[in-house]
Amino acid sequence: MRDRLEELQSQGLAAIQQAEAEEGLRAIEVRLLGRKGEITSVLKSLGTLPAAERPLLGQLANEVKQGLAEALQARRSDLQALAMAAELEADGFDATLPGDPLPGGGVHPVNQVSRDLEDLFQSMGFQIADGPEVELEELNFDALNIPADHPARESHDTIWITPPDQRGAGKQGVVLRTHTSPVQVRALRRFGAPLRVVAPGRVYRQESLDATHEHTFHQMEGLVVDRGVGVPHMLHAMNTLIEGVMGRKLETRLRPGFFPFVEPGFELDARCPFCKSGCGVCKNSTWIELMPGGLVHPNVLRACDVDPEEFSGYAFGLGLSRIVMLRYGIDDIRWLMSGSLSFLRQFHP
């Protein structure tokens, strides 16, 4: 039986190597390994052998069976590859020609600056917070100490989802958030004090558009609430932020600013990098309004269940889109959301 098995093995392997087509391989497979195939019948006849011979011959028969099955599979793959190569050659296909390059994507400059700032603030122990772009009137205005009749509401030129005259009794108004400041309230109500967060995001206003005003733009809110927080802490964070994103110090100035949710409030402006004595971007003032901030108003802390006797805090609202303009020397903000590929391609290799 050993001789018979070895003979089947060598004849089988030779036949497999010589097969020129799939049908030929299939016939060999049936003849050797099929239900009535030659190897199968050898395996079936093992039971007639003396018990002492069965294990060795059984092992040999299985090895031969497996070897033939593998050889069949390998030859089948070879034949398929040969058939495909012949087909491609007949089509005039040249596998050595270089392929068409795929257009590569890239990170939008606003997202790039946002990610750089998130990394910077995370390294200083801040969390990244988030909030919805469709926001409740209460969070966009009321909890930030901007009452219903406050002129600041008008100055924000709100885009209403549920306008004030359609609210219905006891119902909340809904807006496209006009700033990232409602995330202050969401974060503080959720996590309590002490807290350090930055919240980058998209905001919306009904604006007259020009080189520095878009209807859809990006801000980054910063909020720190802890014991003994004051203006010097805020100034340090603002300057670290600007230096981090620009890679250098900018000429800045601080002036008083009014926002109902901070007291005292400030405006940080950066010197216009596009001109020396005034241009369309800075509206001839040589300064670009970049980042307001101030100490969190006690009413905001109270609206978030934080005791203003124990905690104080600072907040700032960076005009993210504007700092992108400064970093990359973009002299019109409307490029950022234009979707222009020729503009965007400049930011990726």
Binding footprint of ligand FA5, residue count (CB under 6 A): 24
Helix (H) or strand (E) holding 322: helix 320-328
- For position 219 contacting ligand FA5 by CB under 6 A, the verdict is yes
- For position 177 contacting ligand FA5 by CB under 6 A, the verdict is no
Which of 39, 211, 220, 333: binder of ligand FA5 (CB under 6 A)? 333
Which residues touch 218 (CB under 8 Å, ≥6 apart)? 110, 114, 200, 201, 202, 203, 320, 321, 324
Structure tokens belonging to residue 138: 């209460």
- For position 205 contacting ligand FA5 by CB under 6 A, the verdict is yes
8 A C-beta contact, residue 308 and residue 214: no
Tell me how far, at minimum, the Cβ of 210 lies from ligand FA5, in Å: 9
Which of 292, 297, 300, 313: binder of ligand FA5 (CB under 6 A)? 292
Tell me how far, at minimum, the Cβ of 98 lies from ligand FA5, in Å: 44
> Dihedrals φ, ψ of 238, to 5°?
-65, -45
- Look at strands 195-204 and 159-162 and give their pairing: unpaired
Picking from 288, 290, 291, 254, the residue whose alpha carbon sits closest to that of residue 274 is 288
* Chain residues 261-290 in contact with ligand FA5, contact rule CB under 6 A: 262, 265, 289-290
- For position 207 contacting ligand FA5 by CB under 6 A, the verdict is yes
* CB-side neighbour CA atoms (13 Å) of 336: 29
3-state secondary structure of 219: strand
Beta carbons within 10 angstroms of residue 248's beta carbon: 7
Tell me how far, at minimum, the Cβ of 165 lies from ligand FA5, in Å: 24
Tell me how far, at minimum, the Cβ of 155 lies from ligand FA5, in Å: 7
8 A C-beta contact, residue 326 and residue 270: yes
8 A C-beta contact, residue 241 and residue 326: no
3-state secondary structure of 318: strand
Structure tokens belonging to residue 324: 């992108």
Binding mask 294-323 for ligand FA5 (x = CB under 6 A): x--------------------xxx-x-xx-
Q: Residue 43 or 290: which CB sits closer to ligand FA5?
A: 290
Tell me how far, at minimum, the Cβ of 188 lies from ligand FA5, in Å: 13
Tell me how far, at minimum, the Cβ of 331 lies from ligand FA5, in Å: 14
Helix (H) or strand (E) holding 32: helix 22-33
Tell me how far, at minimum, the Cβ of 116 lies from ligand FA5, in Å: 17
Tell me how far, at minimum, the Cβ of 340 lies from ligand FA5, in Å: 18
Q: Residue 213 or 283: which CB sits closer to ligand FA5?
A: 213
> Dihedrals φ, ψ of 18, to 5°?
-85, -15
How many helices (H) and strands (E) would you count in the chain?
12, 10
- For position 181 contacting ligand FA5 by CB under 6 A, the verdict is yes
Tell me how far, at minimum, the Cβ of 181 lies from ligand FA5, in Å: 4
Of 78-86, 186-194, 206-214, 324-332, the segment contacting ligand FA5 by CB under 6 A is: 206-214
Which of 31, 167, 202, 213: binder of ligand FA5 (CB under 6 A)? 213
Of 62-70, 94-102, 193-201, 209-217, the segment contacting ligand FA5 by CB under 6 A is: 209-217
Region of 134 (left: φ > 0; alpha: ψ -120 to 50; beta: rest) is beta
- For position 214 contacting ligand FA5 by CB under 6 A, the verdict is yes
- How many angstroms separate the Cα of 69 from the Cα of each of 34, 128, 272, 299, 345? 11, 59, 77, 81, 55
Q: Which residues of this chain interact with ligand FA5, rule CB under 6 A?
A: 179, 181, 205, 207, 213-214, 217, 219, 259, 262, 265, 289-294, 315-317, 319, 321-322, 333
